[in-house]
Structure 1
Amino acid sequence: MNAKVKKGLKIGGSTVVVFFLILLILPFAFKGKITKLAKEQINGKLNATVDFDKINLSFIRHFPFATVSIENLRIVGINEFKKDTLLSSESVDLVLNLSSLFSDKGYEIRKLQINNSRILAHVLPNGKDNWTVTKTDSTQKNDTTPMSFNLKLKDFEIKKAYIVYWDELGKQKAVIHNLNHHTSGDFTADSSMLKTKTTIDSLDYWMGGVKYLSKADVELNATIDANLNKKIYKFSENSSRINAIPFSFAGWVKMLDDGYDMDLTLDAKKVDFKAILSMIPAIYSNSFEGVKAGGAVNMSGFLKGKMVGDNYPAFDFKLTAVNGWFQYPKLPKSVQKINIAADISNPGKTLDATVVDISKFAFTLGGNPFSARMRVAYPMSDPELTMKAVGKLDLGNIKEIYPLEAGTQLNGVLDMNLDLSGRMSYYDNNQYDKFKFAGKLNIANMLVKMKASPQDISIAKANMVFNNRYADLSTLQMKLGRNDLTMSGKLENFVAYALHDKTLVGSLNMQSNYFNVSDFMTADAKATKADTAKMSLIQIPKNINFTMKADFKKLVYSKMDFSNAKGTLLVANGDMRIQNMGLQAFGGSMTMNGLYSTADVKKPYVNFDVNLADVTFTEIFKQVETLRKFAPVFEKATGKFSSKLSVNSLLQHDMMPNLASLIGNGSFSTKSIGLSNVEVINALASKLNKSGLSSSTIKDLALSFDIKDGKVNTKPFDVTLGNIKMKLGGSTGLDKTIAYAGTVQMPDQFNMGKFSNLNLKIGGTFSKPKVQIDVMSIINNVIGDTKAKAVSAVNKQIDAAKPNAIKAAQEQADQIRAEAKRIGDQLISEAKNQGDQLVAKTSNPIAKAVAQRAAKKLVEEAQKKSDDLNTKADTKAKDLIEKASGNAKL
């Protein structure tokens, strides 16, 4: 190799290295510029909040093009859509023309790839959508210039997207799990062949509250001849499927300024009967590959016309199946003679002209034929509905034609004959004579047992006859787990209720030997904590108007057990009124009248009048949680009591009262209540030095109370503990604080004299009570009597003094001073004697301690009064002398 060649290779190699280094370094130079520009441009152009974590830029990944990767892109709505995240994506990759980075004409995007995204398309009831986010206000400064991105796509890809389409106006919803889409072609050419492929792992679709697709597996493959100038897209080669149904489209779609124009024909010649079965989720998801099936099938359809605004293209889709059948492997029987004729059509312009006609739907199961037909004719705003169903279904045959889950058991016979026809407006306008509805439904020996259901359902007998106005339920005998229920009655307006959400009116008689309310709650309505089932709010439907007469031998609600419950329930407008409900409860009896309201589901409440008679403390404390909060003293009480209670309270969503809102009043009485080892009584016994009070029986107790602001306020009442009488009144709080005050009358044998009646205060909490005996008021009464006598005597001496001459005045002054001293000394002496007598007369330790304190206080007060008398006498004496000397006016 000569020197020139070596030199050339060296220079070339160096150039490559330098060029490679430039490609590595340049992204850092442009990264900040692109990040700032992207956020400014996008947020300035959209009525939405756009943000992302960072932008990565590479010149090597798709050289000679630049690659921009936006990480964690988020687009969030504003105003009424502020809770909507329109798009969140783990990353968005764009491939740009490298030269456009140095141009002022904008960045040219060649490829767009969106990865691991969640997309929400939302239409409000007023028709406004969340994806129209481009700003149109010309006053916005940022909107006066075009977006600095030029779309020259050749490749577009979506990987692993979760998409929700929610149309509140049209009452439609679609949920797509794991969508993958790829389109390739030249979007910049006048004409291009676009190759597209789309797969969806699971598609669910609802319209009008009815689920038409459930977990459908979708694949769409199409080659489209796109005339981009004229915006016409013709289907070339294409093959698609929904579950096992293969189909393709022939025709074209043209984009208009305000909508679409189309002429499409459905090609489904390869569809067989097994493919039709794949649209039934229970069959498609259960050993579908091994299912054998046969029968003649024809499926066709078209879409033709413009879709602009509220106008729709004409369409017609037909499905027929003749003598279809299917059989699962390893099962002995098959479903035979399946015949279907269905057609959904519309002449175009308005969806109100749609006609759904299922003229035939028939099959034979276990030798029992079943047939039905239905037609819903325009206008859809007031459809004419025709429906007929006749047949007998033996549920016991299902296990022989369908592989049931282990533990599932089905038995029983359903025999029905239903015939219905008429317009919905007939029911709305009470034109029952125009509406035809007749038929019957009989059920015998039905049993449904499933692993997913915690309760077995059995219906021994059910007989219902229908006519235009009502359904007559002559008998229903059913069991749900342990619960049994026998019903009879009449339901009116049930067709309008079922099809048009109108009010269902009825009168029912219900009997049960055992009925547990919690067993009828849904799984979402119950949460388990340890071994305690926590209830959820039971919402009363507003479109039910029932009168129910109930007779339940055993009724269970939460932890409460009731027996022989009889009464009337009135259900209407989201309320349930209870009239004259009588039952045995808590070891006694209870009668109840009141209201349970969920008319405002955000503020449910109860308003009850309850009368309890001879119920036991132990039972009611064990079963009623609210009582444990307001009166924990009942936990250690024995005996029976009676009570009348009127209560009004908001409810929490666990069905428990909102105690802060609880308002009520009532009375309480008991002939005998036993209390043992109650902290409050123990504290009182300790203060009175009478241990025998710790276990006491209270006789003939009666009191009245009210409930407000989270407290039970008790009016003063008389109570006797042992041989000690008390008069108490006060309150109990939600936090178990107590605040009671009153008097204690000690028995005569205690020989307490003036100290027999003591003031009493009880505070603290039930677990840590504070008991105070107030003796100061009694002491002050004794001192007051002594002071009054002393003051009266001194005042008499002072008032009797009359000023004469100076000598007489001096003598009089000396006499006043002497008399004041004598009386003061006598006051102190009498106080000592009286105190000694108080102490000597008392034998009870409590009384003696009180007397000793009183004696000391008497002497202290007597000394103070003596000093005061001497001071007052000296002042008077000086005044007399000054007057006698002429230094003061008489």
Structure 2
Amino acid sequence: MKKFLKIIGIVLIFFIAILVAIPFVLESKIDTIVQNYADENLNADLSFDDISLSLISSFPQAEVSIENLKVINRAPFAGESLAIAKSISFEMGMMQLLKGTEDPLEINEIIANELLLVIKTNKTGAVNYDIVKESETTTETPTETESSAGFSFDIDNYELNNSAFTYIDETSNMAFYLTEINHKGTGIFSGGKSELDTNTDANVSFVMDSTSYLNNTHIKLDALIDLDLEQQKYTFKENKAYINALPLEFDGYIQLVEAGQQIDISFKNPGSTFKDFLAIIPEAYAKDVAEVNTTGNFSFTGIVKGLVSEETIPTLDINLLSENASFKFPQLPKSVKNIGIDVSVKNTTGNVDDTFVNIDKLNFQIDEDIFKAEASIKNLTKNMLVAAKLDGSLNLANITKAYPVELDNELSGILKANISTSFDMDAIETNAYQRIKSVGNVSLSNFVFSSDDILNPIQINKADLSFKPGTVSLNSFDALTGKSDFSATGTINNLLGFMLSDKNLEGNFNLNSNTFALSDFMSEDTVTTETETSTNNKSNETAAIAEALKIPAFLDCTITANAKTVIYDNLNLKNVKGQLVIKDQTASLNNMTTDIFNGQLGITGNVSTKGEKPTFNMKLGMQNFDISQSFSDLEMLKALAPIAKVLQGKFNSTIDISGLLDDSLSPDLSTISGSALAKILTDKVDTSNSPLLTSLDSKLDFIDFDGLNLKDIVANLSFENGNVSVKPFSINYKDIPIEISGSHSFTNVMNYSAVLQVPAKYLGSEVNRLIGKINDSEVSNLTVPITANIGGTFTSPNIKTDLTSGVTSLTKQLVEIEKQKLIGQGKDKVKDLLSGLVGGSSNTTKTDSTATTTDETTKQTTEDKVKEGVGSILGGLLGGSKKSNTNKTQDSTKN
């Protein structure tokens, strides 16, 4: 006996050793089978991280597990995922592992975890699941062909855990999503007849033509299905389903036939109270349904019967009915009563285009407000035809007091409607207004509207619309938002397109306002960045760093505006009139006029916030602007001409300018370019706050800048890349013309020159004495060009002049003329010297040596006089104090 037990123990150990060893021997074989199958049969790329075989945990079966399986499409869906699974396990008999690689494997159980399956049809009609290669012509027998497939299935158990299914059809603009799928079934898939017991739990969403019909609706199905595999008929029995919390019982069958699938299924709700209807509503919007008090009945029945094929669908007869119903949530103060519902979905022909929905009754009452609606929807799959009628009033604030819906913004206001409408969706999409037949009136009062597309909520005090075929008239509109108030009248072209589709709001409006702040009508985009907070040892902390203003994308309208005050940045524009066209996130201003800086401003151009950076392109006409105020308050003008703020009076200007705007829609000065033409209407200058003029005053002693004559001066500017270029222009100080030109940067770095044609009489008493001795009218009118080169900045200027060299040259020439007279030079030579001076020559005139007979004593005396004269003149100019105008006149008449 002991020997027998020992033999049995040895056999068991040997058997266990074989079970442990077999996987290491066979894993490469399984890998080869799977990879060969993919290469030979799939027009897609199959990959996985690991494949393993276990004989012990699943004994007496063998279990093959594949980790991170991926099936990736090739063209025309190249790179897109068809299927991804975290893990898939297959269970089979051990003898299956001993078959050759060309023999089929019989799979008994499949379990998939976190499987994502995406089925897609693109706009050309191509499908991503057609990945099986076409069979090549072969002489193999059917048995051989079937064997080459590699797998066969005889499944008695399968599971899908935490999986998802997506179906997208771009040809019909439809998407269907199943998420959080947990599904399992037990049964036998072989033999003539068998039974399958399934349990399904999932969330379903359905979207068609941008309309969401189901949004994450919870469904549950427990179904016992008879399988007649020979007839390919699947009969449902003892089945119960749930849509959210609404129970449904159904029976019938689905049978696969040559033309498609034959369906005969009927369903009904087993209860009959109105609480069953509330159970349809998603749990997120219907809390504590179990506690709600209801009256009235409710029924939900349906029959789906017929052939599903490429040409037909089953006939439909689905009905939802409720009479004299009411409900009240215990935690809310108000109830909804006198509820009547009669809705049906029907198709009597099997032609998909003949499906229609009738809402014969949808009535309810809250307090004294009664609301009634009816509608019909036809031609669902093509150009949908809609006819509807609304009649009643509703206090919007009562919605949340009667139903526990969670809204982003609290509703308020009174809605009154009496309107009938009929239209087709193509008319909505193409703005074919003549096919939109709407008649009636809608009014709204004390309503607050907020949206992600606007910065501040809009309080609509009153809005009154009347509908006529093809047009909607805005009879009155009175609203507030932020700091702004406005009233409007006009026409709206596509109100239904804006409300029912993704169309922009189109219309023409007359707008009046007392105060209109532009920033109140901009949308707010928050830009975030990742920062690191060292004090709390936190990383990747998101912080808001900027709020960019955007022109709302949904506006496509023309506004004729009349506003008493418009606030833009730090400017208050008065009596604003003109036309504003808003389209494609661009605001175009046409012939806009306003009063500002005690003058008038005309604006034509546009602002666009469509791109990554807002842009602007404007033509500005300024008339009678207050110079000091405008060049102090308007950053753009301050950058163009910083010196202008010292002027007292008015100016006219035209400016063509374009560039980028910052997040607050103010010009980014480093990006602007354009040109400006300005005419000064003043003759007053205040030098007290100008370091530049003060410095010039000290360098040019003979000019008092407070006395400059600037009236009617025209300056021509151009600017680009942060620099302003000034074309040459002239100003006058008494009888001294001054030509100015050059450039400066927006950082106020200057590169200017001022050329002064200075009469000799302003250059000191010594020059005037020499001119008096010469006693010639041409010399008396002599001018000397003096250049002032201006650098540095407007607050810290650096000025250099050639005054010293100019005076020195002039003095030498005058002394030379006097010298020639003293030595008796001929009149012709003196005349030549005078011509040189009057002609503006700054070089000493050379004498003809053959015409000069000079006594050495006389020559030395003359040279001494030259030195004495130059020293006296320069000393007076550079060392003396500025003289009054009276003294200057006296100096000019001496000698």
Q: What TM-score do the two structures reach when normalised by structure 2?
A: 0.70
Greater shift, 293-302 or 511-520, is seen at 511-520
Which residue is 1:861 aligned to?
A: none
Greater shift, 360-369 or 34-43, is seen at 34-43
User: Is 1:567 paired with 2:563?
Assistant: no
1:179 to 178, 181, 186: 181
CA contact (8 A) 2:177 2:205 kept: yes
CA contact (8 A) 1:717 1:729 kept: no
Give, in angstroms, the shift of residue 341 of structure 1: 0.5
User: Is 1:260 paired with 2:261?
Assistant: yes
Which residue is 1:60 aligned to?
A: 56
Q: 1:450 to 1:430 in 2, by over 3 A?
A: closer
CA contact (8 A) 2:433 2:471 kept: no
SS at match of 1:42: helix
CA contact (8 A) 2:471 2:493 kept: yes
Query: Structure 1: how far apart are the matches of 2:58 and 2:708?
Result: 93
Which residue is 1:534 aligned to?
A: 548
Deviation sequence 1:200-244 (CA, Å, 0-9, x none): 2x4333223222223322212212222334332221222111112
Which residue is 1:274 aligned to?
A: 275
2:620 to 596, 606, 610: 610
1:667 to 673, 677, 680: 677
Give, in angstroms, the shift of residue 183 of structure 1: 2.6
Query: Structure 1: how far apart are the matches of 2:689 and 2:37?
Result: 77
Q: In structure 2, list runs of 5 or more residues that go unmatched.
A: 139-144, 530-542, 768-782, 810-863, 880-895
Q: 1:189 to 1:449 in 2, by over 3 A?
A: same
Query: Structure 2: how far apart are the matches of 1:661 and 1:237?
Result: 75
CA contact (8 A) 1:396 1:410 kept: yes
User: Is 1:729 paired with 2:737?
Assistant: no
CA contact (8 A) 2:110 2:155 kept: yes
Q: 1:61 to 1:345 in 2, by over 3 A?
A: same
Which residue is 2:108 aligned to?
A: 110
Which residue is 1:12 aligned to?
A: 11
Give, in angstroms, the shift of residue 371 of structure 1: 1.1
Which residue is 1:246 aligned to?
A: 247
Q: 1:838 to 1:31 in 2, by over 3 A?
A: farther
Give, in angstroms, the shift of residue 262 of structure 1: 1.5
Greater shift, 603-612 or 403-412, is seen at 403-412
Query: Structure 2: how far apart are the matches of 1:847 and 1:235?
Result: 115
Deviation sequence 1:533-592 (CA, Å, 0-9, x none): 312354365xx4x44211234444567664443211245688653222123568875321
Give, in angstroms, the shift of residue 364 of structure 1: 1.5
CA contact (8 A) 2:632 2:645 kept: no
Query: Structure 2: how far apart are the matches of 1:107 and 1:620?
Result: 88
Q: 1:620 to 1:476 in 2, by over 3 A?
A: farther
Give, in angstroms, the shift of residue 181 of structure 1: 1.9
Give the AA of the match of 2:742.
Answer: G
SS at match of 1:81: coil
Which residue is 1:121 aligned to?
A: 119
Q: 1:836 to 1:217 in 2, by over 3 A?
A: farther
User: Is 1:230 paired with 2:231?
Assistant: yes
Q: 1:238 to 1:410 in 2, by over 3 A?
A: same
Which residue is 1:797 aligned to?
A: none
CA contact (8 A) 2:220 2:241 kept: yes
SS at match of 1:535: strand
Query: Structure 1: how far apart are the matches of 2:641 and 2:151?
Result: 73
Give, in angstroms, the shift of residue 277 of structure 1: 1.9
CA contact (8 A) 1:338 1:363 kept: yes
2:716 to 704, 717, 722: 704
Query: Structure 1: how far apart are the matches of 2:479 and 2:715?
Result: 47
Which residue is 2:83 aligned to?
A: 87
User: Is 1:321 paired with 2:317?
Assistant: no
Give, in angstroms, the shift of residue 504 of structure 1: 7.1
Give, in angstroms, the shift of residue 361 of structure 1: 0.8
Q: 1:85 to 1:11 in 2, by over 3 A?
A: closer
Give the AA of the match of 2:111.
Answer: Q
Q: 1:408 to 1:621 in 2, by over 3 A?
A: same
Which residue is 2:654 aligned to?
A: 644
Give the AA of the match of 2:109.
Answer: K
Deviation sequence 1:753-811 (CA, Å, 0-9, x none): 99985695969xx8999989899xx99xx9xxxxxxxxxxxxxxxxxxxxxxxxxxxxx
CA contact (8 A) 2:113 2:163 kept: yes
Greater shift, 345-354 or 40-49, is seen at 40-49
Give the AA of the match of 2:588.
Answer: R
Give, in angstroms, the shift of residue 135 of structure 1: 3.9
User: Is 1:441 paired with 2:442?
Assistant: yes
Query: Structure 2: how far apart are the matches of 1:337 and 1:156?
Result: 49
SS at match of 2:550: coil
CA contact (8 A) 2:320 2:342 kept: yes
Query: Structure 1: how far apart are the matches of 2:307 and 2:236?
Result: 17
Q: 1:514 to 1:82 in 2, by over 3 A?
A: farther
Give the AA of the match of 2:253.
Answer: W
Which residue is 2:821 aligned to?
A: none
Q: 1:58 to 1:488 in 2, by over 3 A?
A: same
Query: Structure 1: how far apart are the matches of 2:316 and 2:251?
Result: 14
2:560 to 544, 549, 554: 549
SS at match of 2:231: coil
2:594 to 544, 559, 583: 583
The 5-angstrom pairing of residues 671-710 of structure 1 reads 703-707=715-719
CA contact (8 A) 1:245 1:271 kept: no
Give the AA of the match of 2:112.
Answer: I
Query: Structure 2: how far apart are the matches of 1:130 and 1:339?
Result: 46
The 5-angstrom pairing of residues 797-812 of structure 1 reads none
Q: 1:749 to 1:91 in 2, by over 3 A?
A: farther
Give, in angstroms, the shift of residue 523 of structure 1: 5.7
Greater shift, 427-436 or 153-162, is seen at 427-436
User: Is 1:346 paired with 2:347?
Assistant: yes
CA contact (8 A) 1:539 1:574 kept: yes
CA contact (8 A) 1:107 1:150 kept: yes
SS at match of 2:11: helix
Q: What is the count of residue pairs matched by the alignment?
A: 777
Query: Structure 2: how far apart are the matches of 1:260 and 1:654?
Result: 62
Give the AA of the match of 2:261.
Answer: Y
Q: 1:405 to 1:221 in 2, by over 3 A?
A: closer
Which residue is 1:42 aligned to?
A: 38
Give the AA of the match of 2:176.
Answer: A
SS at match of 1:533: strand
Query: Structure 2: how far apart are the matches of 1:428 and 1:72?
Result: 44
CA contact (8 A) 1:366 1:394 kept: no
Query: Structure 2: how far apart are the matches of 1:287 and 1:635?
Result: 72
Query: Structure 2: how far apart are the matches of 1:518 and 1:399?
Result: 32
Which residue is 2:538 aligned to?
A: none
CA contact (8 A) 1:470 1:494 kept: no
SS at match of 1:61: coil
Give, in angstroms, the shift of residue 153 of structure 1: 3.3
Query: Structure 2: how far apart are the matches of 1:297 and 1:180?
Result: 30
Q: In structure 1, list runs of 5 or more residues that go unmatched.
A: 783-832, 849-890
SS at match of 1:15: helix
Q: 1:448 to 1:167 in 2, by over 3 A?
A: same
SS at match of 2:225: strand
Deviation sequence 1:155-203 (CA, Å, 0-9, x none): 3322223444333322223344422222332234443322222212x43
Give, in angstroms, the shift of residue 326 of structure 1: 0.4
Which residue is 1:474 aligned to?
A: 475
Query: Structure 2: how far apart are the matches of 1:70 and 1:472?
Result: 66
Query: Structure 2: how far apart are the matches of 1:655 and 1:43?
Result: 59
The 5-angstrom pairing of residues 21-40 of structure 1 reads 21-23=20-22, 26-27=23-24, 29-31=25-27, 34-35=30-31, 38=34
- Residue identity over aligned pairs, in percent, reads 24
SS at match of 2:56: strand
Which residue is 2:838 aligned to?
A: none
Which residue is 1:203 aligned to?
A: 204
Deviation sequence 1:471-513 (CA, Å, 0-9, x none): 2322121223544321112334655776688897643211233
SS at match of 2:389: strand
Give the AA of the match of 2:577.
Answer: K
Give the AA of the match of 1:362.
Answer: N
Give, in angstroms, the shift of residue 130 of structure 1: 3.0
CA contact (8 A) 1:464 1:475 kept: yes
